[in-house]
Amino acid sequence: MSQEVPTICPGSPELPGLSDKAGVFYLAPPLRHTRDRVYVRLSEQGWSVTFPHDGVMGVAVGAAQLRPLLRALEPLMSEPELAAAAAVFLEGGGVPDIGTLLDARPLAVWTARAEHDWLLRVIEREQVQIHYQPIVQAQASEQVYGYECLLRGYADDGTQIPPGRLFRTAEVADLEFHLDRMARVAAIRESHRLGVRANLFINFRPTAIYDPEFCLRTTVGAVEKLGIDPEQVVFEVVESEAISDHAHLRHIVDEYRQGGFRIALDDLGAGYGSLNLLKDLEPDFIKLDRDLVRNVHNNPAQGTIVEAILSMARNLGVTSIGEGVEEAEEVQWLREAGADLLQGFYFARPAHPPPALECR
């Protein structure tokens, strides 16, 4: 891990590992019959269970026994029960009070962290690599405008972990904030190490950012410490179809812009809300959804939609990017339709370090 730009900034939430110390694990199942069932099953397995408060169970845990307990609890409840049960672990024991509410999490989060403890190691040790995919000028595709920075994780044995699995697991284990932050900082730091001078398109998930001023301080600090021009960095909103709080997202975007960064909106045209996001965020770039780009030259209706989006982007002063380009015919069609930039396997697949262009 780099000593220059720490992943954990002062005052930010530390990476929540599972304790190996002795203590008491408290949980509050949602229904009485659930509590009775869990109590009977745990007692049969030899766990010591008490009821310090009405509806609250306390399970005594010896050193290095928290993970086995969580693995024992998971099959005893349904998914809705796991999600509804609040739980907290007190090292050394003691009775939970109002202060322990700050550390309480759904039992589903605890069991997910026990089941997928490999993700904690990936984040803590930064077992990741940044792969780069070129974004080229549409009218002069031998010229690289920038690179999208794509996260790839690695297990302890060196096998690659697909990004989809990383982020799906982070979501269920309530580790999105930590993974997303580490990914942003890793992209900035690795691009600086490799001497990448082109624009950097770095993904971020708005659902992982609670308080923009607080949660983005590490990202902004990394750029400042390494002396990178903020205008070189474009933060790309991904999974925009899942965003319901546009005001919160605008707050995030404004925080980035205050730092001199630019904003891209990914997958425009993928969902009903994307045009509203275009209005609300006023991004510097839009990326056409790859399903609109794929085979656009053979589908007149699809072409009409893409032409309308490109015309709208020009009228708004927004730079357009055709994403997912795989065929020469798609390249030619998008050039003639007025796309500004292009990205896709036709030019290069993501690679580390940044790959040479294959087709221009």
CATH code of 176's domain: 3.20.20.450
Cβ atoms within 10 Å of 82's Cβ, excluding its own:
22
The pLDDT of residue 97 is 78
Same domain, 37 and 64: yes
Same domain, 218 and 128: yes
Same domain, 318 and 169: yes
Query: Which of 115, 149, 165 is the last residue in one of the domains?
Result: 115
Is 55 part of a structural domain of the chain?
A: yes
Same domain, 102 and 129: no
The pLDDT of residue 218 is 78
Residue type, 231: E
Is 357 part of a structural domain of the chain?
A: no
Same domain, 70 and 198: no
Same domain, 325 and 180: yes
Same domain, 44 and 158: no
Provide the 8-state DSSP code for 351: B
Question: What is the domain range of residue 106?
Answer: 23-115
Cβ atoms of residues 22 and 63 within 8 Å: yes
The pLDDT of residue 359 is 65
**Can you give the pTM of this predicted structure?**
0.85
Instruction: Name the helix (H) or strand (E) containing 271.
Output: none
Cβ atoms within 10 Å of 256's Cβ, excluding its own:
20
**Cα distance between residue 259 and residue 273, in whole Å:** 27
**Cα distance between residue 209 and residue 215, in whole Å:** 6
| Ramachandran quadrant class, 57 (left: phi over 0; alpha: psi -120 to 50; beta: rest) | beta
Same domain, 91 and 154: no
The pLDDT of residue 9 is 41
Is 218 part of a structural domain of the chain?
A: yes
Is 8 part of a structural domain of the chain?
A: no
The pLDDT of residue 249 is 81
pLDDT per 10-residue tile (average), the chain, 360 residues: 38 71 94 93 96 92 95 94 94 82 88 92 93 96 95 94 92 90 92 96 78 69 89 84 71 86 83 70 91 93 94 94 95 96 96 86
Is 198 part of a structural domain of the chain?
A: yes
The pLDDT of residue 254 is 87
The pLDDT of residue 358 is 80
**Cα distance between residue 145 and residue 155, in whole Å:** 32
The pLDDT of residue 103 is 80
The label of the residue with tokens 């015309």 reads: 311
Cβ atoms of residues 84 and 35 within 8 Å: no
Same domain, 222 and 310: yes
The label of the residue with tokens 């990383």 reads: 166
**Cα distance between residue 82 and residue 269, in whole Å:** 36
**Cα distance between residue 89 and residue 109, in whole Å:** 13
Tokens representing 67? Answer: 């993970």
Domain count, the chain: 2
Is 348 part of a structural domain of the chain?
A: no
The pLDDT of residue 7 is 40
Is 35 part of a structural domain of the chain?
A: yes
The CATH number given to whatever domain includes residue 52 is: 3.30.70
Tokens representing 225? Answer: 């410490």
Same domain, 239 and 141: yes
Cβ atoms of residues 342 and 321 within 8 Å: yes
Cβ atoms of residues 187 and 179 within 8 Å: no
The pLDDT of residue 253 is 85
Beta-carbon-side half-sphere exposure of residue 165 (alpha carbons within 13 Å)? 11
Same domain, 186 and 94: no
The pLDDT of residue 101 is 75
The pLDDT of residue 11 is 40
Is 301 part of a structural domain of the chain?
A: yes
**Cα distance between residue 2 and residue 285, in whole Å:** 31
Query: Which of 115, 143, 178 is the last residue in one of the domains?
Result: 115
Taking CA atoms, 43 is separated from 58, 149, 287, 350, in Å, by 12, 50, 56, 52
Residues contacting residue 195 through CB under 8 Å, at least 6 positions apart: none
What 3-state class would DSSP assign to 63?
coil
Residue type, 202: I
Same domain, 68 and 133: no
Query: Which of 60, 94, 115 is the last residue in one of the domains?
Result: 115
Instruction: Name the helix (H) or strand (E) containing 106.
Output: strand 105-106
